[in-house]
Every structure is written in C-alpha cells, then in structure tokens.
Amino acid sequence: MYPLEAAIGETGVRVVYRNNGLEQIKHTDLASFIRTLGNQISLDTGYLDPCIIRMARCARNVHIVALDRSQIRTVSFRNTHVFPYRTESFTIPTPTTLFHLTLAPNQQGTGYTLTNTRLFSLADNLVVNDNTPLYIFPFSNVGDDGWVCWGDSDVHQLTYRLENCASDIIASWWRATFNHDVAHGDYTLRTFQALDGATEFPVQDLRRHRSVLTAGQIFERIS
C-alpha cells in the first residue's frame, strides 16, 4: 500500500500518493474518500475482558465502559473519626456497578495510563443499553456525579493494556480501603456494618442522580 496524505478542504479531499519518489495527486469528494478508506481498514480488538461492554477511541483518549456484576466481597473501611484510627473488614454484597474508565497513551508508547474513573450503580444485572437507569454509587470515595477519588492508590502510575485493564482496575478498586473522603463516609460505615454477612444488596435503597440518569448519557460523551 502506498504512503498516503489527505487534506480536507471546502471543495473536497486532496489525496497525495507517494511511491519510489513519484507523487500522484487526486481530488475527490469527502463521501467517496471515506467510503474508499473504510474499505481498506480492518479492526481486530483481540480478546477483551469479559466485563467490557463498550470501548471508544477518541482523538486523545480511550474510553472503556465495564460492568462489574453484583457479588459477595470482602471490603475494608478506615475509620478516621476515632482515635487511634481503626480499619475494619466486612463481607458484604455489592451492587452491580458500571465503570467508565478513561485512559491515555503513556509517553513511552508502551501502553496506557488511567486518567479518570467514574462509577454508577445498577439496580439489576440486565444487559445495558441507552435507557438503562443509573444510580449513585452507594459507598464513599465517589461523588454523586460518579467521579472517583483514588486517594493514595498507585493506579494512575501503572501501565495498562486495553484488552485486560478493566478487570485489573476493578479489582484495584475493591481492594482499596474505603474511608470518609468525598461523600457518604458515615453512611458507608453503617451500611457495611448492616450488610456484613448478608447475601443480597438492597437495590431499593439506591438513589438516582439529578442529571446523570441513564447509561446513554455516559455513552454520548464517548461516541
């Protein structure tokens, strides 16, 4: 395939082919150029994390939407409202959680770095579509609008591969220690205490956000 340069202007596309020092210039309309280019491009994502339900590549970033199903987990909470500080562990059911991960290529070109994370909860394990209702993540370290505070975690210093980063990041999230940061600290501790040993998360207690209402609103930002 010849090296190709294309410049899009008001009258169409100027395409320049170069091969062995020879240059060939052709003008075409934008629709024809896109159609021809599309016929020459193939895409193979490779084997993806089973939890990934959507991936989009934009100019600078890659957005991954992953689904973490409801399950029984052991979580930790560091209580900084007592002295000395005390860390407790609880075995609780967690709600199905939607992770929106934003990653950017690292400077070395060896992989990707996590730049942002948002979390929302779902009321069930149904297949996600644009109309799926989103709920505020019910535990601490996450704002009501879904933005995550990772604290002193090293997740932003690690290098990830796109095909398996979601499971690694999700596992890092649940291994991290919850505390009173950002929101819902006291509520989280009480909830962990109440759910310790339970088998099902009470989805009826989940709350809706005033503006982020459906999965489609997340997907609009990554398309």
- Examine the domain organization and report whether 76 and 109 are in the same domain: yes
Query: Looking at the domain assignment, is residue 32 inside a domain?
Result: yes
The predicted model scores a pTM of 0.78
Residue 47 resides in a domain: no
Strands in the chain per DSSP E: 4-9, 12-19, 22-28, 52-57, 62-68, 71-79, 86-94, 97-105, 112-121, 135-136, 177-178
60 and 18 part of one domain: no
pLDDT tens digits, one per residue of 165-216: 999 999 999 999 999 876 666 889 999 999 999 999 999 999 988 777 888 8
- With H, G, I as helix, E, B as strand and everything else as coil, classify residue 189: helix
- Residues 11 and 114 placed together within one structural domain of the fold: no
Least confident range of 5-9, 73-77, 208-212 = 5-9
Same domain for 36 and 124, yes or no, is: no
Statement to judge: residues 30 and 100 lie in one domain: no
Number of domains, the chain: 2
CA distances to 73, 100, 108, 169 from 215, in Å: 25, 10, 33, 20
Are 21 and 117 contained in the same domain? no
- For position 103, what pLDDT does the model report? 94
> Domain residues for 32?
4-40
pLDDT at 95 over 60: yes
Indicate whether 46 belongs to any domain.
Answer: no
| 45, part of any domain | no
